[in-house]
Structure 1
Amino acid sequence: MHEKEHPDQGHHPVDPPATQRRVAKRTTVISGIAILFIAIAAAVVLAADALLLVFACILMAILLYKLSEIMARRFHMNRKIALTIVVVALTAIIGIGGWAMAPQISEQSTKLAEEIPAAVKRLQGEVQQHPLLKRVVDELPPPEQIVKQMGNMVPNAGLFFGGVIGALGNVVIILFVGIYFATSPSLYTQGALRLVPMTKRPRAKEVQQELGKTLASWLLGKAASMLIVGVATTAGLMMLDVPLALILGIIAGLLDFIPYLGPIMAGIPAVLLALSISPDLALYTALLFLGVQMVEGYVLQPMIEAKAVDLPPALVIVMQLIFGTLFGFAGVALATPLAAALAVIVKMLYIEDVLGDKPAQ
């Protein structure tokens, strides 16, 4: 007779304690990831100004490194010597230029602060004569409140400290930290790579290099664009005999760092001042800004995007609105390079690595 087979023979009973341990381990891991995510999100929100300041320092370092690299390659010299020359040259140009134009800039800035409220009042008086526009004007705040709101943007323009002194402090921090980063970039890039698992480090290095290349190309192109826009706007306003042409041109050049929204912000005070003289001059001033921005948008911007990253205008504006809402004026100013960096990360780490959609060779 055959020995009766036990019903459980050949089966390994599941150990309930082992199952419970696995479940507890998974729960702990998921909870830890959730807590880490919440902690990172809280840190980003609470330390947003400091993080934006660090990103601005990185942008400065990339710009200085790229300029020194170009000089070192062209003149066959040591890169650190080239970096020293670049820093000294930029400091001399800005310092001498600022010292030479400081009295005029200071005088025109004071006049601009006085003329804008008067121009707004004159504009409101003119529009009161038109019934359709009168409704819109009645909804606008008084000129004093408009100027106060514009003044409130100044502390928000600072990334870490508020006010004018804080803005100067930010410039000093960005410059010196950028110089330190640009002097020994490998010290910081290799340190960041050590935080990545060893098997992923080659790919992380590729992403890191692509980020640096993209931001460097964008910064060089944008710096050239800002200079051209500032000079062209100043020259055009002088030819039109618009008051305070120098300070308005400087504002136009600086705000050109912010695509799409920056030119509008720069054009409003110029058109208001021109309108205080005559409607025709205001029209010519608006056409001047429109012409400069058309050249910038159809000639300079494509050249920048050809070597950097092609960002759709709608995406840039949405990013400006989001970062502006979260971080103030500094978020608006840094939205485009942040969007360019995020585009590279999404493209390489998600589209290429996760989805497997490799770019065409």
Structure 2
Amino acid sequence: MTDQQQEISADPPQVKRRVARRMTMISGIAVLFVAGVAAVVLAADALLLVFACILCSILLYKLSEILAQKLHMKRKLALGIVVLLLAAIIGIGGWAMAPQIAEQSSKLAKEIPAAVERLQSEVQQHPLLKRVVAELPPPEQIVKQMGSMVPNAGLFFGGVIGALGNVIIILFVGIYFATSPQLYTNGLIRLVPQSNRPRAREVQKELGHTLSSWLMGKAASMLIVGVVTSVGLSMLGVPLALILGIIAGLLDFIPYLGPIMAGIPAVLLALSISPDLALYTVLLFVGIQLVEGYVLQPLIEAKAVDLPPALVIVMQLVFGTLFGFAGVALATPLAAGLAVLVKMLYIEDVLGDRSGLQKKPG
């Protein structure tokens, strides 16, 4: 007779109550899982927007914490200074460069179709490339597809108004989160059983440390890539260097895929002038990515989670398929957060394996 049979024969009412509790728990977990999947599917855009707000708040909190430590002031005062400085930099920079950016943006929208047409006409002379070009869509459709890659964050509005509206939402909600983060984190931790709350706080702190380190490093990397790309393209004589550099800096937020997306319009414009200039443009982008990959990226990963490139690309494909361009843009920080949760909650707590998982130096 097995132990379970002995237990049943010894005290059937007690065992039945245990079985009933287990069945109730399993049913509850199943219902919560289904509800969570339904929430992700039905409210994916809203959840991604909330995650973007959290990333913004983490970045603002980290900047204000650094300023408060350097100047020995209260963190909320430092947060106000950080917000004012960022607003001043963006406002003054936007006011100074807005005419040039607007002019170059309109020119870029006109030059890309013309560059594609010139490329198609030139490669028609090569028999091997002729079949490939025949399979390409017309230039107008290519531009339309490139436009559809812009983050579909218009939850309440469409087009440019929707994007601007969501930027405002992310900034304001991020400021509110960064002002009193304990108010929200404590509320979430209270949902955890009391015996597990100390571990929940450890996980929350590790998540915040990982994402803040990654965001700080990525923000510096984006700025460097944008400036170097603009200067390099300008020195090479590629037209619209400023707007192309801004695009390269913004898309650098997306590892691996972002630089390719940023390099395509620059190479097309350079190719419309001469093949040699296109080659130099390709070499410029390759050089920038080599420096970023071997210098900047290791510095970011030294204080954040080390994500294998294959995992990042797979996550970008998965989230891009599920949520569009916004999923691709947020795939890497989502993967970093999931890596921390899997490491701490499954590998360490469930499997009990803490070997080789020491925290990276801060």
Q: TM-score range by the shorter chain?
A: over 0.9
Deviation at 1:66, TM superposition (A): 0.5
Letter in 2 for 1:38: V
Question: Is residue 124 of structure 1 aligned with residue 155 of structure 2?
Answer: no
* Aligned-partner SS, 2:244: helix
Unaligned runs of 5+ in 1: 1-10
> For residues 35 and 278 of structure 1, what CA distance do their matches in structure 2 show?
61
Q: Does the 8 A contact of 1:230 with 1:253 survive in 2?
A: yes
2:218 aligned residue (203, 215, 222): 222
* Equivalent residue, structure 1, for 2:95: 99
Provide the aligned C-alpha RMSD in A: 1.9
* Equivalent residue, structure 2, for 1:233: 229
* Equivalent residue, structure 2, for 1:3: none
Q: Does the 8 A contact of 2:123 with 2:133 survive in 1?
A: yes
* Equivalent residue, structure 2, for 1:133: 129
Detail structure 1 runs of 4+ shifted over 6 Å in the superposition. 11-21
* Equivalent residue, structure 1, for 2:300: 304
CA pair 202-24 structure 1, distance change in 2 beyond 3 A: closer
Q: Does the 8 A contact of 2:45 with 2:323 survive in 1?
A: yes
* Aligned-partner SS, 2:204: helix
Unaligned runs of 5+ in 2: 1-6
> For residues 225 and 202 of structure 1, what CA distance do their matches in structure 2 show?
35
Question: Is residue 45 of structure 1 aligned with residue 41 of structure 2?
Answer: yes
Deviation at 1:35, TM superposition (A): 2.1
CA pair 187-285 structure 1, distance change in 2 beyond 3 A: same
Letter in 1 for 2:273: I
> For residues 261 and 308 of structure 1, what CA distance do their matches in structure 2 show?
20
> For residues 160 and 293 of structure 1, what CA distance do their matches in structure 2 show?
36
> For residues 45 and 135 of structure 1, what CA distance do their matches in structure 2 show?
40
> For residues 85 and 346 of structure 1, what CA distance do their matches in structure 2 show?
36
Q: Does the 8 A contact of 2:151 with 2:326 survive in 1?
A: no
Deviation at 1:231, TM superposition (A): 0.3
> For residues 286 and 9 of structure 2, what CA distance do their matches in structure 1 show?
79
Deviation at 1:154, TM superposition (A): 2.8
Larger radius of gyration: 1
Alpha-carbon deviations, 1:27-80, whole Å to 9, x = none?
Answer: 444333222211110001111111111111111111000000000001111111
278-287 or 131-140, larger mean C-alpha shift: 131-140
* Equivalent residue, structure 2, for 1:193: 189
Q: Does the 8 A contact of 1:50 with 1:160 survive in 2?
A: no
Q: Does the 8 A contact of 2:229 with 2:248 survive in 1?
A: yes
> For residues 279 and 253 of structure 2, what CA distance do their matches in structure 1 show?
25
Question: Is residue 313 of structure 1 aligned with residue 312 of structure 2?
Answer: no
Q: Does the 8 A contact of 2:305 with 2:336 survive in 1?
A: yes
Question: Is residue 329 of structure 1 aligned with residue 325 of structure 2?
Answer: yes
**Percent identical residues:** 82
> For residues 286 and 26 of structure 2, what CA distance do their matches in structure 1 show?
54
* Equivalent residue, structure 2, for 1:174: 170
CA pair 203-84 structure 1, distance change in 2 beyond 3 A: same
297-306 or 129-138, larger mean C-alpha shift: 129-138
CA pair 160-252 structure 1, distance change in 2 beyond 3 A: farther
* Equivalent residue, structure 2, for 1:63: 59
Q: Does the 8 A contact of 1:157 with 1:328 survive in 2?
A: no
TM-score normalized by the length of structure 2: 0.93
> For residues 151 and 299 of structure 2, what CA distance do their matches in structure 1 show?
34
CA pair 34-274 structure 1, distance change in 2 beyond 3 A: same
CA pair 203-122 structure 1, distance change in 2 beyond 3 A: same
* Equivalent residue, structure 2, for 1:7: none
Q: Does the 8 A contact of 1:72 with 1:78 survive in 2?
A: yes
* Equivalent residue, structure 2, for 1:54: 50
> For residues 104 and 237 of structure 2, what CA distance do their matches in structure 1 show?
14
Q: Does the 8 A contact of 1:157 with 1:329 survive in 2?
A: no
> For residues 334 and 261 of structure 1, what CA distance do their matches in structure 2 show?
12
* Equivalent residue, structure 2, for 1:256: 252
Q: Does the 8 A contact of 2:226 with 2:248 survive in 1?
A: yes
> For residues 13 and 122 of structure 1, what CA distance do their matches in structure 2 show?
85
* Equivalent residue, structure 2, for 1:35: 31
Letter in 2 for 1:234: S
Q: Does the 8 A contact of 1:108 with 1:247 survive in 2?
A: yes
Letter in 1 for 2:105: S
Deviation at 1:14, TM superposition (A): 7.2
CA pair 85-126 structure 1, distance change in 2 beyond 3 A: same
CA pair 194-63 structure 1, distance change in 2 beyond 3 A: same
Q: Does the 8 A contact of 2:62 with 2:212 survive in 1?
A: yes
State the number of aligned residues. 351
Question: Is residue 113 of structure 1 aligned with residue 109 of structure 2?
Answer: yes
* Equivalent residue, structure 2, for 1:352: 348
